[in-house]
Amino acid sequence: MNRTLSDRSVASLLLLLAVIGFCQGPATGDEPTESAATDGEEQYRQAAEHMRRFGMRRADDGTPIKLIDRPLLSFGDSARAYNRGTLWGWGKAGRPAAFMELFRAGDEADEWHHAVTLCSSERVILKASKADIWTPSQAPPEMKQIPDAPAPSETPARRLRQMKELARRFTAHEIWGSRIELRLLVQPVHRYDDRPSKIVDGAVFVVAHDTNPEAVLLLDALGASPAEARWHYSLMRSGHAEIHVEFDEKEVWTCPLARVDAIGPTAAYSSFRLPVEAATKSK
């Protein structure tokens, strides 16, 4: 099924990215100018060009895991003084294997910032410039059944409504110097299924500061059929802060502040920087 942003035309996507994430400054509600759209298209082009330099494969058999060919989300964080970020995923079939946040601190920045999160039980290897740069040995959190959730509906449209309703029952905050409330982006950024793996339906939601992903929420209907399936969830960090997530006001997941020695290349969540390509800087 894999209903991603690739269902839209490239032109519409680029204009949307220019309006909501890539143009300078906060949204004003005005119609986008030609220069803003052009700026957004260029930022998207640079991010996509950089992402094509990565390769991911399964560690066990070397099978390539394909990059989803459009960003799942464009994001910004005005309070933390950066924007034009993109969220990417690997795994065009079924539940994605991993996500990556990509951003630059400014147009003239010499480095790309990356934060990569494992969400597959399979071991993966991420390669860049012919070198393995991320080989996570830690497993992501397992899927947990949501208590007292309604049975998944028979139709995709109704299941989407169910997932949105369930997602709204999750609330979150982070500790980053002080307590900061986070918000759920109620529109899923990716949707998938995998009937051979007994995933009837699934969706990726983002828990964010502004629109900057701090955690990723997966909701899956797991079972051989809708009649047999039950709703499950899993959460994983995509930011450095200490994070707490509640479901119906009861804490169900937390992760500590990410220490530098705990987010290295074998961790399920890792961050690193790479130089901005010379061709990108010159444009």
Between CA 91 and CA 64 the distance in angstroms is: 9
Residue 55 sits at the vertex; the CA angle it makes with 53 and 60, to the nearest 5 degrees, is 165
What is the pTM for the complete model shown? 0.84
Domain residue extents for the chain:
5-281
pLDDT tens digit string along 178-212?
A: 999 999 999 999 999 999 999 999 999 999 999 99
pLDDT tens digit string along 61-100?
A: 999 999 999 999 999 887 776 768 999 999 998 999 999 9
The pLDDT of residue 26: 31
Between CA 235 and CA 252 the distance in angstroms is: 9
12's tokens: 């519409």
Between CA 145 and CA 248 the distance in angstroms is: 14
pLDDT tens digit string along 24-72?
A: 333 323 343 444 455 568 888 999 999 999 999 999 999 999 999 999 9
pLDDT tens digit string along 236-252?
A: 999 999 999 999 999 99
What's the order of all strands across the beta sheet hosting 64-65?
A: 64-65, 54-58, 124-128, 131-134
